[in-house]
Amino acid sequence: MADIFNMNIVEKSSENHYIVFGVAEEEYGVEVLKVQEIIRYIAPTRLPGTPKRVKGVINFRGKIIPVIDMRVALNLPERPYDEFTVVIVMDILSKRIGIIVDQVTDLATFTSGDLQKDLDFESHLSSQFINGLGTLNGKLIILLNMDQVLSESEMEFLDKQLTDFQEQELT
C-alpha cells in the first residue's frame, strides 16, 4: 500500500474513484472528488452541545474544521484510537469536514460492472447514506453518500458552534 498520510489528492478526474477505508470489520468507500487530504489522527478539541458523532474540531492548515467519528455515525461500537486511525479531510455540502476512520486501505477505481447502485435490502444505515456497493478483489465495499452524514439542522448548528468557537479564540 502506498504511503497515504498527508497525501494531497490532486488527480481527481473520474467519478468512479474511491478512497476505501475500514471501520470495524467493514470497508467503505467515499468519492475521491470529495477528499482533500488524509492525515494522521489528531485529538480534537471538544465543542459543547454537538451531536455525539461530532468529536470536536481540529486546526487543519489554519482553518478550524469539525471532525466526525465514523464509528458513531455508522452506529458501530466505539474503540480507542490507535496508530492506524486517520482523519480523511473532505468537502461535504460545501464545508470542510474531517472523518475519523480506523484505517485507509485502498484507492480504488470501479468499473460500471463493479458497481451496484440499486439496493434491495434493509440496513442499519439510512438508504440515503448509501450510494451503492462496489466489488474490489472479491470484497464488497459500501459506497457512502457523505452529504448525508449530518442533517441540515445539524450542519446549521455546527456552523453556529464553529463561529462561536472561532470568535472565542480571537478574544
Separation in Å, CA 109 to CA 15, 31, 40, 146: 9, 10, 24, 18
| Residue 163 parent element (H or E) | helix 152-170
Q: Best-predicted range by mean pLDDT among 5-9, 17-21, 165-169?
A: 17-21
pTM: 0.81
* Tens-digit pLDDT profile for residues 69-103: 999 988 899 999 999 999 999 998 888 999 999 99
CA 107 to mean position of chain CA atoms: 14
Q: What band does 5 get if pLDDT is binned at 50, 70 and 90?
A: low
Contact yes or no for 106/136 (Cβ under 8 A): yes
Residue 43 has pLDDT above 80, yes or no: yes
- State the virtual CA torsion across 46, 38, 149, 19 in degrees, nearest 10: -160
Domain 7-170, CATH number (from 2.40.50.180, 1.20.200.10, 2.60.130.10, 3.40.630.10): 2.40.50.180
In terms of Cβ atoms closer than 10 Å to its own Cβ (0-12, 13-18, 19+), residue 124 is exposed
Residue 171 has pLDDT above 90, yes or no: no
C-alpha cell, 41: 489522527
